[in-house]
Homo-oligomer: A and B are copies of this chain.
């Protein structure tokens, strides 16, 4: 590599653990993404060029890219190139939207901005976003409709420091998804989420928004969205009316 091979802390002295070249290449490529050298929608340099740049063989470059592709940080397209993914509706639906109809069909949600406010981080949000308690945040409430029926209420919290000068107006101009807005407006690319689910009941406010009776059981989803290097950028509480729709999960395997 162009830089000297880094040594991982050896569990015992005298054990010269050297990071594999492909791991180091992967680290450098992740950095190129993080610092914006390669931007969403761009093709990254061809594999042969990366092999030259890093002074390694093409097979080793491919192994690094393989892992980045598996982690959804790059997209390969044969004959065209390798690209930095851009957040659009299809990507959202495929990777980040887990609600499906009873027959398994995925439907594009129609999003309506219901509330937007600046505020301070409470304990839970500060914890999940790894920011200080009371730090400035934006709070957004969206109501999502599926097939013209309100089904989901999203309460989103994001750090003010990461989204400077965010205004309510930007949501109206938004062409597709909020993750697209994060990416194009603030250079924040969501690459992964973790979610925790539990059953709750609708309070009066949520019930009204979802047009159900109070005490209707709802699925509550608490999501943390992460960007490169597992840095949290969004905390979201969703409440889903699972009368006609369900949460889909495919785990413990491929």
Contacts and interface: CB of A to CB of B under 8 A. Distances in A.
Given A70-B254, A254-B72, A200 B199 contact: yes
A198 interface: yes
Interface string A62-99: 00000000111000000000000000000000011010
A100 B197 CA distance: 10
B253 A71 contact: yes
A217 B195 contact: no
A239 to B, nearest CB: 9
Nearest to A194: B250
Number of this chain's copies in the assembly equals: 2
A184 B219 CA distance: 37
Contact residues on A (Cβ < 8 Å of other chain), bracket: 35 or more
A53 to B, nearest CB: 24
Contacts of A201: 217
Interface string A134-170: 0000000000000000000000000000000000000
Interface string A195-221: 111111100000000000001011110
A226 to B, nearest CB: 8
Given A197-B246, A247-B196, A247-B197, A253 B72 contact: yes
A70 B252 CA distance: 10
A23 interface: no
Contact of A219 (B71, B194, B198): B198
Contacts of A98: 249, 251
Given A70-B254, A198-B219, 5 more contacts: A95-B251, A98-B251, A192-B253, A193-B252, A197-B219
Interface of A: 70-72, 95-96, 98, 100, 191-201, 215, 217-220, 226, 240, 242, 246-254
